[in-house]
């Protein structure tokens, strides 16, 4: 097994995603402890591509795709995996949905999935581990070297608010409307190793930092970094971690297409040197996206110019359009552009479902399960 300090090169701009999904019961539509039974059934299937894994509590599973060259083949695999999940979940009378947070579950009712890694998280972080029952999409983009991964991690941070707004699907938490488009990131922010990578400029400098953190006993592995974007040396990727799990597989694939085309544009001009100012404005930009979605304000770290996140996404889509065309993802980017121009996030959709259901959050979850299954 390769050391974490060795970066295993992968095909540049290759794609993979992880989707954390909610397991709910169709009576009351609360989260339920179904992960172990569902995973047991899925292990027996011979037609399941990718992988389905446990997550920190027994009301969650994580769907892992295999590696893809583009978003259309990725979407095809995700749909095949969904078919297997729905079939086996139906046998257990479980339902599955996306969304960044369950609207009304009580975190104290959650149970930690019994494995060594998750038990260690509980030992260290206490009740925060159960409160970490939130659901995200992680996007992996392939890199040819550790230096490339560090460069791309810094440069993609400028666009973190884009991914937050494009995926926002957690307006409700503990039975309340939070007034945020993405409340999920509040749970992530509670961890001391959340935030962003330090301003190191190459892989050697990063490994020096990582070694010191291990020597201090602050981390045991790179999994202990809960950064918005982090390098994954064992996969040869960077991992974008700020997205809520979208309500549909289609939107999950669109987000992957956007990340791939954006990375292609950034890697096309390696003369761009990451600037520390990215991290001066990152917290503000990140909050604006979480709170206001597309209407939030974004400060450009280089020019200081301010515009709405929607305006910035639309300008970026124009900039990366030629790269998307080369990658075969022109149509997905056009679809994403239409979504942004429409101005509605998945959180807006969930709020509309609640209004249509006379305030019932149980009906919101039922609708979200139908949306994920379609």
Please name the residues in contact with 104: beta carbons below 8 A apart, sequence gap of 6 or more: 30, 172, 174, 175, 361, 362, 365
Whether residue 6 is contained in a domain is answered as no
pLDDT tens-digit readout, 327-351 = 999 999 999 999 999 999 999 999 9
For the chain, what percent of residues have pLDDT higher than 90? 91
- The whole-number pLDDT of residue 271 equals 81
pLDDT tens-digit readout, 54-82 = 999 999 999 999 999 999 999 999 999 99
* Summary mean pLDDT of the chain: 95
How many residues make up the chain in this entry? Answer: 374
Whether residue 5 is contained in a domain is answered as no
pLDDT tens-digit readout, 158-189 = 999 999 999 999 999 999 999 999 999 999 99
Please name the residues in contact with 223: beta carbons below 8 A apart, sequence gap of 6 or more: 117
Instruction: State the Cα angle at 299 between 293 and 301, rounded to 5°.
Output: 135
- The whole-number pLDDT of residue 1 equals 45
Whether residue 1 is contained in a domain is answered as no
Domain that holds residue 251: 15-373
Whether residue 2 is contained in a domain is answered as no
- Average pLDDT estimate for 274-286: 94
| Assessment of whether the complete model's pTM goes beyond 0.95 | yes
CATH classification at residue 201: 3.30.590.20
Give the separation between CA 157 and CA 285, rounded to whole angstroms: 10
Please name the residues in contact with 90: beta carbons below 8 A apart, sequence gap of 6 or more: none
Structural domain count, the chain: 1
Give the separation between CA 276 and CA 193, rounded to whole angstroms: 19
Whether residue 100 is predicted with pLDDT greater than 60 in this model: the reply is yes
Read off the DSSP letter of residue 197: -
- The whole-number pLDDT of residue 49 equals 87
* Per-residue pLDDT band at 270 (split at 50, 70, 90): confident
Joined together, the tokens standing for residue 158 give 């400028």
- The whole-number pLDDT of residue 354 equals 97
Whether residue 90 is contained in a domain is answered as yes
pLDDT tens-digit readout, 21-34 = 999 999 999 999 99
* Per-residue pLDDT band at 2 (split at 50, 70, 90): low
Whether residue 7 is contained in a domain is answered as no
- The whole-number pLDDT of residue 3 equals 72
pLDDT tens-digit readout, 119-156 = 999 999 999 999 999 999 999 999 999 999 999 999 99
Whether residue 294 is contained in a domain is answered as yes
Whether residue 9 is contained in a domain is answered as no
Whether residue 317 is predicted with pLDDT greater than 60 in this model: the reply is yes
Whether residue 4 is predicted with pLDDT greater than 80 in this model: the reply is no
Give the separation between CA 254 and CA 166, rounded to whole angstroms: 9
């Amino acid at each position: 097994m390769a050391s974490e300090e060795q970066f295993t090169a992968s095909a540049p701009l290759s794609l993979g995603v992880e989707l954390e999904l909610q397991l709910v019961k169709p009576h009351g539509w609360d989260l339920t402890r179904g992960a172990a039974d569902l995973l047991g059934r899925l292990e027996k299937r011979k037609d399941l591509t990718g992988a389905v894994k446990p997550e920190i509590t027994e009301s969650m599973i994580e769907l892992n795709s295999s590696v893809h060259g583009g978003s259309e083949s990725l979407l095809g695999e995700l749909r095949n995996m969904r078919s297997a999940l729905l079939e086996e979940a139906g046998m257990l009378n479980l339902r599955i949905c996306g969304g960044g947070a369950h609207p009304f579950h009580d975190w104290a009712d959650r149970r930690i999935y019994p494995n060594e890694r998750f038990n260690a998280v509980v030992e260290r972080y206490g009740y925060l581990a159960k409160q970490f029952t939130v659901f995200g999409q992680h996007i992996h983009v392939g890199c040819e070297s550790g230096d490339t991964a560090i460069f791309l991690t810094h440069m993609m941070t400028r666009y973190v608010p884009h991914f937050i707004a494009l995926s926002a699907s957690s307006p409700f938490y503990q039975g309340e409307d939070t007034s945020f488009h993405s409340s999920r990131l509040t749970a992530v922010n509670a961890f001391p190793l959340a935030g962003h990578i330090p301003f190191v400029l190459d892989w050697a400098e990063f490994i020096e930092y990582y070694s010191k953190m291990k020597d201090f006993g602050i981390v045991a592995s790179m999994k202990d970094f809960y950064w918005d974007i982090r390098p994954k040396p064992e996969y040869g990727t960077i991992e974008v971690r700020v997205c809520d799990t979208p309500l549909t597989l289609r939107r999950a694939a669109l987000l992957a297409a956007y990340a791939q085309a954006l990375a292609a544009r950034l890697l096309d001009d390696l003369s761009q040197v990451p600037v520390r100012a990215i991290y001066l404005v990152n917290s503000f930009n990140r909050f604006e996206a979480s709170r206001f979605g597309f209407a939030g304000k974004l400060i450009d770290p280089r020019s200081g110019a301010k515009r709405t996140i929607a305006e910035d996404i639309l300008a970026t889509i124009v900039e990366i359009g030629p790269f998307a065309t080369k990658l075969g993802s022109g149509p997905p980017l056009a679809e994403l552009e239409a979504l942004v121009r429409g101005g509605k996030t998945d959180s807006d959709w969930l709020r509309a479902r609640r209004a249509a259901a006379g305030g019932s959050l149980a009906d919101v979850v039922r609708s979200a399960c139908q949306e994920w299954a379609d």
